[in-house]
Amino acid sequence: MNSKLKEFNVVGIGASAGGLKALQNLFRYIPDDTGMSFIIVQHLSPDFKSLMPELLSKFTNMTIHTAKDKLPIKPNCIYLNQRNKNLHIKGSKIYLLEKGPKNNLNLPIDIFFHTLGEEFKEKSIAIILSGTGSDGSRGITTVKEKGGITIAQNPEEAEFDGMPNAAINTNAVDYIKSTQQIAKILTSKNIELKILNALDLNTQKLETEFKGILVEIYKHCGVDFREYKKNTIIRRMEKRMGINNINNIKSYSEFVKKTTKKKKHSEMIF
């Protein structure tokens, strides 16, 4: 993937029934200059023209595009799927795919999320909003596995909780929040912490704290993460720090020591 792509996040949003209200509430609180790109995939009837560009433009000043084949992905823009095409990403562009026969099950959100995770890896963010069924629940696991961030709308807020609950049941969701809280997460400085990147320079103080956390977890559960790839552990640890609103490794070390008796090792890092 082009190195320039790594300079900004791509946020994939899956929505179905009740999704319009959720999207409007979400973009009401997202600034126009986050530096992120937003790609929305909805369940659309092939027989009716979508009014989403007009309806969403009331809540954001970002440029809104209806996706076209080989359309470049740019920051501070919103892209919408077409009603009669599936959407996926390859490199830095959006590609359109023909849908299968009308009677076949079509999962456009899963299709898109799979390619989002594969292409943008740790720069990918997958969000599941209101909808029925389970579309998106498979695709978010790819985003999670590739080091991206996964978010589900709080089912208590969603008009239809099927899709959020299906995503949550995968145990691959990092955040379960209201649309307003999701917007806050996306604009948080902790969305991608960089504090641990200094470990690559072998800064002694950070290195000591880092190893101390791994030793504490080994004592608690018997799994030695010191044998794992360091960069993988760093990315997972950064994500857990962000989820717990911790912005330095010393505070995270103290947090781990306090919670080892209450949580499994997978909850602390992965």
> What residue has token string 């955040």?
175
Domain's final residue, options 139, 167, 191: 191
Considering 191, 220, 238, which residue would you say is the last residue of a domain? 191
Please determine, for residue 5, whether its predicted confidence score (pLDDT) is greater than 60: no
Cα separation, 184 vs 84, in Å, equals 33
Same domain, 155 and 224: no
Residue pLDDT, tens place only, 224-240: 888 787 777 877 787 77
Task: Select the more confidently predicted residue: 220 or 148.
Answer: 148
Residue that wins the pLDDT comparison between 126 and 226: 126
Structural domain range at position 239:
193-269
Q: Domain count for the chain, please give it.
A: 2
The per-residue pLDDT for range 148-194, each reduced to its tens digit, is 889 999 999 999 999 999 999 998 898 999 999 999 999 886 666 55
100 and 13 together in one domain: yes
- Beta strands 175-177 and 85-90 are unpaired
The string over 130-153, giving b where at least 16 C-beta atoms fall within 10 Å of a residue's C-beta and e elsewhere, is: bbebbbbbbbbbbbbebbbbbbbb
Band of pLDDT at residue 109, cut at 50, 70 and 90: very high
Q: Are 52 and 42 in contact (CB under 8 A)?
A: yes
pLDDT digits (tens, 9 = 90+) for 25-59: 999 999 999 999 999 999 987 777 778 889 999 99
Strand (E) or helix (H) holding 93: strand 93-98
Is the domain of 26 the same as that of 126? Answer: yes
pLDDT at 256: 86
Same domain? For 100 and 212 the reply is no
pLDDT in tens, 86-96: 999 999 899 99
* Whole-number percent of the chain with pLDDT over 70: 83
